[in-house]
Structure 1
């Protein structure tokens, strides 16, 4: 677009994940008079630096649910729009190298289950089987 419209129902400043998500959801609601302003390239700032880091578990149920909604959306948006996103759900590992951290990881697994998330407690060897390059000499457990 070379010329900006003189009016808009909504003007979104910033083309990161929040700005793009806001524009997407307004469009889903039927808004057609929306302008998104970005000074450079979409999702090239902070969003780009954190690309792929979508941890779903938080201590707050509402934020955990919001992140779950995001994952559901990322899983279906390519089919919906026909545009590839490169989204892949690879999972992650939480490691414990001392007893205090292991207690924390076990509590996190309990919290995850209460929010309906999958999180398995693993032995060091089971974690290494998932990531063979890892040195497990000081690992007590993982999830």
Structure 2
């Protein structure tokens, strides 16, 4: 969504200097999701499992930072975009850093086009990009 900016580097540092304690139950949930679901799903090329784990991790992290960003997501527009992507079958969704950029993961270009169309139709003043994953590690320049 345009017209909204997430935290800049200065305000981000202030938010992260003295983080609130993360309850042990949530620490265990994040660890379990990462080790038992997200990473194995990558290895098995299981997009559904990967997306479910990624979405849940994003929900937990968003709820943790809700007091800093005004809710699970940074703004209503990002929340609406995520709802639309989930409704149209995105395997996983989330917010990038402090937003407002968000993303959805799909396995099919036609599904991506359908999501782009709906986002543009239902949300005003948004930029939508379709890209592919980078399936290579870091490369030195």
- Range class of TM-score, shorter chain: under 0.3
Q: Which has the larger radius of gyration?
A: 1
Bigger share in helix: 2
